DNA sequence: CATGAATGAGGTTTCATTCAT
DNA sequence: AATGAATGAAACCTCATTCAT
C-alpha cells in the first residue's frame, strides 16, 4: 500500500546514510576485512557495556582495552579517539533501532497497530539489551552538549527522518478519524517520553527490577489510547 | 479535610529532613551569616548555570570561580569539594520543587486538579528556570552512578516521601471513581516521564524553542486524561 | 673556682646573644608590652605542642590559630611568618636548656658530677616536657635542611658555645686523670647521642612508655663510665 | 653452633617477609621484567637522593621526575603515589641492612665480635651511601607520624625481628659472663643510638666531614665496652 | 597489526599570606 | 590589635594519546 511504498523509500534512504550498514550486507569483503570488522565489533561490545555502566567521562580507555582484551594502543588502529568509539557504540544501537523501526512500519497498517508493535518491541529490546538501553538514556542527556561534539549532527539527522515517516502516519490517522486531532510533533515527543524515560524511572526506582514486557506495554498503551479518567 | 491534615503532616516531615530549609525561615542569624549565605548563593547560582550547560564532569572549578567572580580557593571556604557544590545546587532545586509540591497538595482536592496544577506549575518552573530544568534532566541520568556517590541517598529518600503522598491521593481517586483502576506506582512513573522528559525532548528537537506553557500543559493533560483514540 | 668564673663568662655571653632573654629580666617594660609578650608566649605554647605532634610541614597555621584561640591573622601581628613561629618555639626550648646547663656548670666540679647532673636533668626535662623533647628530636633532623633556612645559623652558633665550655671541662678531666684520654669533640657528640636519641628510640619502641628517670640515668651513666664488658 | 642454627632460622623468616627480596634471587623473570625493575630502581635512586637532601614533604614529584629523567606521569606506572616511592626507597635501604645483619650474625660468635663487626659495617655503609644514611636519620623522626601512615607496620615489624635475635645473643653473653648483667632491650636501644645518631651529630657539626671509619668504630666500641672512667 | 611504556596537559585541592573591616 | 574571608601559587594525580618495538 501507500505505507509500504513510503517505508521502502525511507529504508533505502537510511541505508544510504549508513545507518544500516552491517557486516553481512556487503558480500565483497575478504577474510582480512571480515576479521577486522569482527574485532572492531568486539571492542564496541566491551565499550557499550562500560559506557552504560559508568558513562562516557568515567569510562577509561584502559577499561575498554582490558574488557575487550586488546592492548590500549590497538584501539587506535580501529578508532581515531575515545569519542569515535562512543559514537560507533551509539550508532550500533541506532542501527538496531532503525532495523526494528523499518520492519514495523512495513508490517503495520493503522497507527494503533504501529504503536502497539513499536512499544512492545522497544520495551523488549530494552529488557534484552540493558546496556544499550542505558546508553540510550545517557545519550539523551549527553546530546545537550552537542555544541562541542562533532558527529551529533549525523545522529540527530537520523531522528528527523524517522520523525518524518511517523508524522505522515499520524496525519493519515487523523484524517481517517482513528485519533483525535493533535499536533503530530507533540504527539511523537510525548510518545517517545513514555517509553525510554518511563523504563528509566522504573530502573531508578527499583534497581534490579525485572520488567514485565506485556504488562508495561499494556499499561502505557492504555493511557496513551484512553487516558485515565472515567467518563 | 483528610487531605489537608495529611499534607500538613508531610510538610513538617519534609521540613525536618531539611529540604525546606531556606534563608528566611530562621530570623536569628546575624549580618555576617546573612552575607555568607548570600555569597554561597552567588556561587551556587553560577554553578547551576555551568553544570546545566556543560554537565558535572565538564564543569571546571576554574569556570565556577570565574563565573561567580571569586578566587578558586574561596570556593573551598564555602564547600568542601566540587561534588558538594553539585549537591548543594541540586538540593536548592529540590527545595524549590518541594515547596511547590506542598503548596499544590494543600490547595487541591481531586487528583485531576492536582495533575492540572502540578503540571502547569512544573512546566512554568522549567520555563522560568531553564538551568535548573536542565540540571534535573542531567540528574536523572547521573543518579544511575549512585553506587559511587554519597549524598544520593538523602535525595532519593526525598523522592519516596513525595511518592507516598501521591500514592495516597491516587488510591483515593480510584476509590472515588475519579479514575480507572491503575497501579499507582506505574502511574506516578508514567506521569513523571510525561513532564521533564517531554520538555527535554522538546528542548533537544528545537534548541531555542519558546515553550507555550498553557498549550503544553493542555496537551499533556488531554492525553493523560482522555488518551488519543476516538471511541 | 676556675669553673665558676668560666661559666659566669659563658652565661653572660649567652645572654648577650639573646638566648637567655626572658620576660622577667627586663623590668622596664610596661603593662602593654607585658601583655604582648604574654600573648606571644600563648601562641608559642600552642605551636610547640602542634609542631611536636605533627612536625613543621604538617602543622597548619589554622591549627595554631585554633589551638591558641587567636584569629589566624593575629598570628601575623606577633610573627612574620610560619617559620618564625617555629624558630621562636625552638628558641624557647633552647633557652630552657641553656638555663639548665648554666646552673649545672656552676654547681658541679668534676666531669663525673657534671655528667650525672646533666643526664638526670635532661631526662627529667624530657619527661616533664614531652612536646619540647619531641621538637628537639625533630629539630635535629630538620637542621639538615639548613641551607634553605635562615635563622639556623643563630641556633647552631649557640651549640658551639656550649661545646666550648664542655670541651674545657673534658680536657681538664683528662689532665686530672679522671677519664681516659679521648677526643673531646667525639666524646661530646657520643654523649649527646646517648640521651635524646636514646629516649627517642625508647619512645618509638614503646609508644606510651613511662620513663623511669632514675633507672635510665643510671643505665646510661653506667655504660658511659664503665662500659659493658666484664674484665 | 647454636648461634648459627638460630640465625639460619631468622634469615629464612626475614626472607619470607619479603625484606630480602632482590632482583637477583628469582632467575625466572624475563627481559621485559628486568628492564622494568631496572627503571624502577633508577627512579628510586633519584628519589633516595632527593628525599635525603630535602625530606619527604619538600621533595616534589617534579623533582623526582626530572632527576630520574622520566616524565611525571611515568612515575605512576611504577608506583601508586608519592608515599609508595618513599616506602620503596626505605625498604631498599632496610633490605641492604637486613642482608648485612644476617651475614654478620652468621659470621660471629661472641657479642663483642658481633658489635665490632656490625658497628664497622654500619659506619662503612653510611659513609658509602650518604643519601641512604640521611634517609635513615629522617626516617627515625618521621616514624613518629606513623599513626597517619600506612605501611609503617610492615617496616616496624622488621625491627622487632632483628631485636629478637639480638636479645637472644645478649642474654647468651650475660650467661657466659662476657658482659655485665644489663637489661637487653635498653642495651639494644642505647647501642643503636650510638651509631646513626652519633654519625648524624657528626654530620651536623661538620658538613663536609670525611668520616674515618676505623677511628670512629674504635672510639664507639671503646666507650661501649670499657667506658671512659679511669679506675 | 599489536603493544603498553612514556608523556604532559589539565584537573582538583591545600594553605601560607594579605588586607579590609 | 584582632579578625577571617579572599587569594592563587603550587602540589599531587589522571588519563587520552603517541610511538618505538
Mind listing the pLDDT tens digit for each residue in D92-127?
Answer: 898 888 889 989 999 999 999 999 999 999 999 999
Q: What is the DSSP string of B172-229?
A: HHHHTTSB----HHHHHHHHHHTTHHHHHHHHHHSTT----HHHHHHHHHHHHHH-SB
Shortest CA distance from C216: residue in chain D: D186
Q: Which of D186, D224, D228 sits opposite C219 (nearest CB)?
A: D186
Kindly report the number of other CB atoms within 10 A of residue D82's CB atom.
Answer: 17
CATH topology of domain B2-22+89-226: Tetracycline Repressor; domain 2 (1.10.357)
Q: Are A46 and A64 in contact (CB under 8 A)?
A: yes
pLDDT digits 0-9 by tens, C57-112: 999 999 999 999 999 999 999 999 999 999 999 998 988 888 899 899 999 999 99
pLDDT at residue A99 in the model: 87
Instruction: Please report all neighbours of C, defined by 3+ CB atom pairs within 8 A.
Output: D
In chain E, which nucleotides are within 7 Å of a protein Cβ?
1-20
> What are the start-end ranges of the H helices in chain D?
2-16, 31-54, 61-68, 72-75, 82-107, 111-128, 130-142, 152-175, 184-193, 196-205, 213-226
Q: Which of C182, C198, C225 sits opposite D190 (nearest CB)?
A: C198
pLDDT band at D158 (very low <50, low <70, confident <90, very high): confident
pLDDT at D25 over 80: no
Q: In chain B, where are the structural domains located?
A: 2-22+89-226
Q: Are A178 and A112 in contact (CB under 8 A)?
A: yes
Least confident range from A100-114, B155-169, D78-92: namely B155-169
Most B CBs within 10 A among A56, A135, A136, A197, hence the mutation to make, goes to A197
Q: Are A62 and A73 in contact (CB under 8 A)?
A: no
pLDDT at residue D8 in the model: 43
- Please state whether strand F lies within 7 Å of residue A73 at its CB atom: yes
Angle between helix D196-205 and D213-226 (nearest 10): 130
User: What residues in B contact A60, CB-CB < 8 Å?
Assistant: none
CATH code of the domain made up of D2-20+90-226: 1.10.357
Our CA angle for D50, D56, D62, nearest 5°, is 55
B vs D contact (3+ beta-carbon pairs below 8 A): no
- Please state whether strand F lies within 7 Å of residue C72 at its CB atom: yes
pLDDT at residue C70 in the model: 97
User: What residues in D contact C54, CB-CB < 8 Å?
Assistant: 145
pLDDT band at D149 (very low <50, low <70, confident <90, very high): low
C vs D contact (3+ beta-carbon pairs below 8 A): yes
pLDDT digits 0-9 by tens, C108-156: 999 999 999 999 999 999 999 999 999 999 999 998 886 655 666 767 7
CA distances from C214 to A168, C114, C116, C222 (A): 102, 16, 11, 12
Of C216 and C204, which is predicted with more confidence? C216
- Pairs from C154-157 (Cβ < 8 Å, separation ≥ 24): C154/C17, C155/C87, C155/C90, C155/C91, C155/C94, C156/D204, C157/C17
Q: Are C112 and C178 in contact (CB under 8 A)?
A: yes
- Average pLDDT in the A53-79 region? 97
C vs A contact (3+ beta-carbon pairs below 8 A): no
Residues 64-83 of D near strand E (Cβ < 7 Å)? 70-74, 76-78
User: Residue D74 CA to nucleotide E9 C1', Å?
Assistant: 14
pLDDT at residue A102 in the model: 87
pLDDT at residue B207 in the model: 73
Q: Which of A189, A194, A229 sits opposite B226 (nearest CB)?
A: A229
Q: Which residue has the cell 623590668?
A: C27
Task: Count residue pairs from C and D with Cβ separation < 8 A.
Answer: 148
pLDDT digits 0-9 by tens, D199-219: 999 998 887 678 999 999 999
Residue stretches of chain B with pLDDT short of 70: 1-27, 146-152, 154, 208
Q: Which of A186, A219, A226 sits opposite B229 (nearest CB)?
A: A226
Residues paired with B229 in a beta bridge: A179
Q: How far apart are CA B97 and CA B94, in angstroms?
A: 5
Q: Which CATH architecture has domain A2-20+89-226?
A: Orthogonal Bundle (1.10)
Q: Which DSSP symbol is given to A110?
A: S
Q: Which residue has the cell 539523551?
A: A140
C228: left (phi over 0), alpha (psi -120 to 50) or beta: alpha
A191 three-class SS: helix
Question: Mean pLDDT: which of B90-94, C200-204, D76-80, D94-98 is highest?
Answer: D76-80
pLDDT digits 0-9 by tens, A24-33: 555 677 888 8
User: Residue B62 CA to nucleotide F9 C1', Å?
Assistant: 14
Q: What per-residue string of b and e applies to D188-200 under the rule 16 or more CB within 10 Å gives b? A: bbbbbbbbbbbbb
The percent of residues above 70 in pLDDT, for chain D, comes to 84
Amino acid at each position: 500500500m501507500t505505507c509500504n511504498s513510503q517505508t521502502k523509500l525511507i529504508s533505502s534512504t537510511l541505508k544510504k546514510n549508513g545507518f544500516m550498514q552491517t557486516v553481512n550486507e556487503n558480500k565483497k569483503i575478504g577474510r582480512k576485512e571480515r576479521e577486522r570488522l569482527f574485532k572492531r565489533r568486539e571492542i564496541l561490545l566491551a565499550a557499550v557495556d562500560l559506557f552504560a555502566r559508568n558513562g562516557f567521562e568515567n569510562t577509561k580507555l584502559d577499561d575498554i582495552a582490558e574488557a575487550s582484551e586488546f592492548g590500549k594502543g590497538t584501539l587506535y588502529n580501529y578508532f581515531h579517539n575515545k569519542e569515535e568509539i562512543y559514537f560507533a557504540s551509539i550508532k550500533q544501537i541506532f542501527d538496531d533501532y532503525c532495523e526494528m523501526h523499518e520492519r514495523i512500519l512495513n508490517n503495520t497498517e493503522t497507527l494503533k497497530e504501529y504503536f502497539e508493535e513499536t512499544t512492545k518491541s522497544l520495551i523488549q529490546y530494552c529488557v534484552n539489551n540493558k546496556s544499550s538501553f542505558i546508553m540510550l538514556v545517557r545519550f539523551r542527556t549527553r546530546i545537550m552538549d552537542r555544541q562541542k561534539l562533532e558527529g551529533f549532527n549525523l545522529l540527530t539527522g537520523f531522528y528527523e527522518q524517522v520523525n518524518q515517516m511517523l508524522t505522515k502516519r499520524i496525519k493519515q490517522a487523523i484524517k481517517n478519524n482513528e485519533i483525535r486531532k493533535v499536533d503530530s510533533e507533540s504527539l511523537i515527543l510525548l510518545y517517545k517520553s513514555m517509553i525510554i524515560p518511563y523504563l528509566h524511572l522504573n530502573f531508578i526506582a527499583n534497581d534490579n527490577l525485572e520488567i514485565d514486557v506485556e504488562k508495561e506495554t499494556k499499561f502505557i498503551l492504555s493511557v496513551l489510547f484512553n487516558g485515565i479518567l472515567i467518563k
